[in-house]
Amino acid sequence: MKAVELEKSYNPKDFEDRIYADWKEHGCFQPDAEAPGEPFTVVMPPPNVTGILHMGHALNNQLQDTLVRYHRMCGRPALWVPGTDHAGIATQNVVERQLAAKGLRRQDLGREKFVEETWKVKERHHAIISQQLEKIGSSCDWTRERFTMDEGLSQAVRESFVTLYERGLVYKGNYLVNYCTHCGTALADDEVEYKNLPGKLYQVQYPYADGSGNITVATTRPETMFGDVAVAVNPADERYAHLVGTFVILPLANKRIPIIADSYVDMEFGTGMVKITPAHDPNDWEIGRRHDLEMVNILNADGTLNDAVPEVYRNMDVTSARKLVVADLVSGGYLVGQTDHNHDVGHCYRCSTVIEPYLSEQWFVSMKGMADKALGAWKDGKIVFYAKRWENTYSHWLENIRDWCISRQLWWGHRIPVWYCQDCGQMMVERKDPTSCNKCGSSTILQDTDVLDTWFSSWLWPFSTLGWPESTPDLKRFFPTSTLVTGYDIIFFWVSRMIMASLEFLGEVPFRDIYITGLVRDKQGRKMSKSLGNGIDPLEVVDLYGADAMKFTLCYMAAQGQDILIDMESFKLGSRFANKMWNATRFLLMNLEGKELVPIVDSDLNIMDRWMYRQVNEAASRVKAAIEGYRFNDGAQAIYDVFWNDFCDWYVEATKHALATKDEAERNRQVSVMLDLLAELMRLMHPFVSFITEEIYGKLPNTTGRVIDAPYPSYREERNHDDAKAIVDAMQELVRGVRSLRSELQIPNERKLQIVFRPDAAFVATGFVSEHVGLISTFVGASQLVVDAHAETSVAKAIPVAGHGFEVFVFVRDAIDVDSEIRKIEIDLERNAKSLEGTLRKLSNEQFMSNAKQEAIDKERGKQAEFEEKLEKGRKHLTLLRSL
């Protein structure tokens, strides 16, 4: 063979893009649907098409990538469906901002033109997000990519809406909803974020209608008083019982409203009297319904006050109106007090504008029945959350479900498939656009102007992306999907609803395993956000360290159920690891010159080979357990350990020695084994560090094809060479003992040591050490290594090192301070004596002996022998040193 020259330093930019393009071009991400075996399917949580990939996406997609690559290599047809959603509000906001820069409003363009414009923006942004996913190495099947507003998915949305309507689960009604005046649309309950903010509690006097005095009500929102239709007291409140049924006058508006009794009122809060504004407060709305009160809406859709308020306040926004109302109440003598008061204020989750409860005609989905089924599926064990505790979040939300407001007053999205006849008023809910009224035949029909909530299309994602409502081959083959990987912030929005939709429309759960990722935070534990400027751009990480560095680091840090705290520096971990892989490979490949690849014969393997195979074997079983149990950090740790600590630190070092042999056949054998191990390690590590493993795999002379579709290493009983492990463990203890002594005594590496090694009769590695004197000498830096079971070494010249089953004598008399050596041994003796004492205490404890597992007892006995041996050797060495 020829030596293969690798670049001197690891530079991921040299190959990452090239490799991704190669995978994509050769269809490596496309599953063979015809292949046997249970498919492994993942649908990517669709990022907002106008969004930018952030660290959370990078984490989420990396974990999916690890899963998919692992299962693909295990031989299952693995499908990962990518895609984006149209993000109704967010995208519309983006386009409106662009228009605003030109001094335009969307109304200036008109609906059709505006939507056209939005599609253009979508196309531009879409390229960005796909490119980012490619940069981080996501092995998703781009040929199956979907968008929530493409034709097929729009059909799915239409089908689901009409079906639910037919089942009586979609209805229209005039209700109090959460309304964002900035976005100009209604929102669902869970799209409102509550923030506790400082405010004022105003005490306002309302005069009795008969002029006999005043009552005092407390309110945080005085400007809504124009919508007041009553004042309520608790029926049990004796202070006010006599007032129920009388009337007061609304100041500034000069309107007569009744005093009513309702048990909702908290007698302890404020004065125990509450103004009732049914059209602007959810609790008041309930009271209004109970008492059949009028609903007075005082707002326009843009958040300004409407004609229901006195003229001076009209067209003012809420904040200005509040100021003026307070001023007017003061000057009118109605305001008798104001105190600081913190309260929870709802904000729009998209734009942070204060939410107004707003009475309007909207479409809703009736949720109770679907929620019960979704709860049932969980109780029956058909879905499992990782980590388990998220099941509480899931069940709690479903148990307290409220109907879902799905209409949005936007232009960008799926238009509600409902038409109204302008002549007879007939309402039609249709799968296909009608051209005339199905009742009176009039062709003057108008479609509902609202669009549907984006989540109303996302909740179909696991099956709409596979072709539903058509019964496509993909749907039959790949649904239900295997695993969903997502963040806990959308368990309500998305996860629960997908389960409900799937049960409703297909009668089965959309996925069995739900892995909830942690949130990516900065080192101070703060959420990464644009406003804090503490975010880390995944592309910047890729640029600085390479995609593999990011991929590995994220896996390494992804402990189940834990948030991830990182900064830019964190990615050095992965970067160093990738660099280590690169350089180890570089070394091995530069040694190929003049060697031949020969078949590997198991019986020819030496102890180090057998040990290394065993370690890789063990790692394979660790990784399997880790990935299948969604413990990504364990998997990353396993490959890190085996590659760095075993392969590089010991096996490759031993190989250096082995390759120096003059025996050509042995050299060829050694190189072949080494390459075999390296190739297997690349396969093992591929799901965590995909690019570099592919690059290296392609350069190995003993491999064909790509690592991405190579078989994944699995645990093999016949490679469980525990005998080799015992020997190498013992050898390592011996080597570490000498190295430690050298280091403590500050003996420079150049100075080669004279060493006598004295094994006990039962020492497991005696043969190995005897046969590999050269190798061990290299490990410890010895000029002479004598193995002598009966050595009577004069310590006048040597320092003894005690190990488990052996002693080593290092001839460095001149380099030591006898007193300090004595002290060290004394400290050691003390520690061992203490350990022995603890062990003996256990072994002499009857209850321990009768209750403990046999395993635990055996272990204690082993410890006893070990401590006694060390004590004995230590004492002997102490005596020798003291005799000097």
Partner RNA sequence: GGGGGGUUAGCUCAGUGGGAGAGCUCCUGCCUUACAAGCAGGCUGUCGUGGGUUCAAAUCCCUCACCCCCCA
State yes or no: residue 522 binds RNA (CB under 7 A): no
The distance of closest approach from Cβ of residue 357 to RNA in the complex, given in angstroms and rounded to an integer, is 13
Contact 49, 86 (CB under 8 A): yes
With CB under 7 A as the contact rule, the residue among 126, 255, 477, 580 that binds RNA is 580
Give the 3-state DSSP-derived string for 475-489, with helices as H, strands as E and coil as C.
Answer: HHHHCCEEEEEEEHH
**What single DSSP character describes residue 317?**
B
State yes or no: residue 743 binds RNA (CB under 7 A): yes
Residues 615-654 that bind RNA (CB under 7 A): 631, 633-634, 637, 644, 648-649, 652-653
**Omega prior to 258 cis, within 30 of 0:** no
Residues 44-73 that bind RNA (CB under 7 A): none
The distance of closest approach from Cβ of residue 572 to RNA in the complex, given in angstroms and rounded to an integer, is 6
Output 283 or 338, the one with its CB closest to RNA: 283
With CB under 7 A as the contact rule, the residue among 291, 477, 576, 706 that binds RNA is 576
Output 112 or 846, the one with its CB closest to RNA: 846
State yes or no: residue 190 binds RNA (CB under 7 A): yes
CA-closest candidate to residue 509, choices 481, 490, 528, 485: 481
Output 298 or 528, the one with its CB closest to RNA: 528
Contact 294, 229 (CB under 8 A): yes
State yes or no: residue 438 binds RNA (CB under 7 A): no
Report how far residue 399's alpha carbon sits from residue 397's, in angstroms, rounded to the nearest whole number.
5
The distance of closest approach from Cβ of residue 684 to RNA in the complex, given in angstroms and rounded to an integer, is 17
Residues 76-105 that bind RNA (CB under 7 A): none
x-or-dash string of contact with RNA, 318-347, rule CB under 7 A: --------------------------x---
CA-closest candidate to residue 96, choices 114, 82, 110, 112: 114
Q: Residue holding tokens 């060390």?
A: 870
Output 384 or 565, the one with its CB closest to RNA: 565
Report how far residue 53's alpha carbon sits from residue 49's, in angstroms, rounded to the nearest whole number.
10
Output 8 or 432, the one with its CB closest to RNA: 8
State yes or no: residue 420 binds RNA (CB under 7 A): no
CA distances from 286 to 26, 233, 279 (A): 61, 15, 10
Report how far residue 137's alpha carbon sits from residue 37's, in angstroms, rounded to the nearest whole number.
25
Output 321 or 636, the one with its CB closest to RNA: 636
The distance of closest approach from Cβ of residue 851 to RNA in the complex, given in angstroms and rounded to an integer, is 3
With CB under 7 A as the contact rule, the residue among 13, 14, 194, 352 that binds RNA is 194
DSSP 105-173: -HHHH-HHHHHHHHHHHHHHHHHHHHHHHHHTT----GGG-EETTSHHHHHHHHHHHHHHHHTT-EEEE
The distance of closest approach from Cβ of residue 169 to RNA in the complex, given in angstroms and rounded to an integer, is 21
Q: Is 791 helix (H, G, I), strand (E, B) or coil?
A: coil
Q: Is 255 helix (H, G, I), strand (E, B) or coil?
A: strand
Strands 782-787 and 753-759: parallel
The distance of closest approach from Cβ of residue 739 to RNA in the complex, given in angstroms and rounded to an integer, is 4
Q: Is 415 helix (H, G, I), strand (E, B) or coil?
A: strand
Output 301 or 822, the one with its CB closest to RNA: 822
With CB under 7 A as the contact rule, the residue among 447, 583, 621, 770 that binds RNA is 583
Query: For residue 514, with 0-12 CB atoms within 10 Å meaning exposed, 13-18 middle and 19 or more buried, which class applies?
Result: buried
Contact 160, 460 (CB under 8 A): yes
State yes or no: residue 523 binds RNA (CB under 7 A): yes
Q: What angle do the packed helices 88-101 and 111-135 form, to 10 degrees?
A: 110
Residues present in the chain in total: 884
With CB under 7 A as the contact rule, the residue among 5, 266, 602, 744 that binds RNA is 744
Output 31 or 635, the one with its CB closest to RNA: 635
State yes or no: residue 704 binds RNA (CB under 7 A): no
The residues near 399 (Cβ < 8 Å, ≥ 6 apart) are 371, 375
Output 786 or 852, the one with its CB closest to RNA: 852
The residues near 344 (Cβ < 8 Å, ≥ 6 apart) are 194, 195, 196, 197
Contact 664, 672 (CB under 8 A): no
Alpha helices in 479-593 (DSSP H): 497-506, 538-545, 547-557, 572-590
State yes or no: residue 587 binds RNA (CB under 7 A): yes
Residues 382-411 that bind RNA (CB under 7 A): 389, 392-393, 396-397, 400
Q: Residue holding tokens 């409102």?
A: 192
x-or-dash string of contact with RNA, 652-671, rule CB under 7 A: xx--x---------------
Output 117 or 190, the one with its CB closest to RNA: 190
With CB under 7 A as the contact rule, the residue among 328, 866, 868, 869 that binds RNA is 866
In the chain, count H helices and then E strands.
Answer: 28, 29
State yes or no: residue 753 binds RNA (CB under 7 A): no
The distance of closest approach from Cβ of residue 84 to RNA in the complex, given in angstroms and rounded to an integer, is 24
Output 579 or 690, the one with its CB closest to RNA: 579
Which two structure tokens, joined as six digits, stand for 670? 């050694």
**Omega prior to 469 cis, within 30 of 0:** yes
CA-closest candidate to residue 573, choices 551, 555, 549: 549
With CB under 7 A as the contact rule, the residue among 740, 783, 794, 879 that binds RNA is 740
Q: How far is CA 439 from the centre of its chain?
A: 52
State yes or no: residue 9 binds RNA (CB under 7 A): yes
Residues 798-827 that bind RNA (CB under 7 A): none
From 143-151, 220-228, 441-449, 582-590, span contacting RNA (CB under 7 A): 582-590
The distance of closest approach from Cβ of residue 484 to RNA in the complex, given in angstroms and rounded to an integer, is 19
With CB under 7 A as the contact rule, the residue among 559, 600, 829, 871 that binds RNA is 559
Residues 252-281 that bind RNA (CB under 7 A): none
Q: Name the strand (E) or helix (H) holding 199.
A: strand 192-207
The distance of closest approach from Cβ of residue 512 to RNA in the complex, given in angstroms and rounded to an integer, is 21
From 35-43, 84-92, 260-268, 861-869, span contacting RNA (CB under 7 A): 861-869
The distance of closest approach from Cβ of residue 564 to RNA in the complex, given in angstroms and rounded to an integer, is 7
Query: For residue 776, with 0-12 CB atoms within 10 Å meaning exposed, 13-18 middle and 19 or more buried, which class applies?
Result: buried
Contact 554, 690 (CB under 8 A): no
The distance of closest approach from Cβ of residue 554 to RNA in the complex, given in angstroms and rounded to an integer, is 12
From 76-84, 131-139, 186-194, 453-461, span contacting RNA (CB under 7 A): 186-194
With CB under 7 A as the contact rule, the residue among 255, 848, 869, 871 that binds RNA is 848
Strands 170-180 and 185-187: antiparallel
State yes or no: residue 531 binds RNA (CB under 7 A): no
Which two structure tokens, joined as six digits, stand for 527? 């959420």
Number of residues near RNA (by CB under 7 A): 76
From 116-124, 289-297, 454-462, 841-849, span contacting RNA (CB under 7 A): 841-849
The distance of closest approach from Cβ of residue 837 to RNA in the complex, given in angstroms and rounded to an integer, is 12
From 299-307, 418-426, 699-707, 740-748, span contacting RNA (CB under 7 A): 740-748
The distance of closest approach from Cβ of residue 178 to RNA in the complex, given in angstroms and rounded to an integer, is 11
Report how far residue 669's alpha carbon sits from residue 596's, in angstroms, rounded to the nearest whole number.
8
Report how far residue 357's alpha carbon sits from residue 599's, in angstroms, rounded to the nearest whole number.
76
From 452-460, 467-475, 553-561, 673-681, span contacting RNA (CB under 7 A): 553-561
From 224-232, 240-248, 272-280, 746-754, span contacting RNA (CB under 7 A): 746-754
The distance of closest approach from Cβ of residue 91 to RNA in the complex, given in angstroms and rounded to an integer, is 23
Give the 3-state DSSP-derived string for 395-406, with helices as H, strands as E and coil as C.
Answer: HHHHHCCCCEEC
The distance of closest approach from Cβ of residue 315 to RNA in the complex, given in angstroms and rounded to an integer, is 32
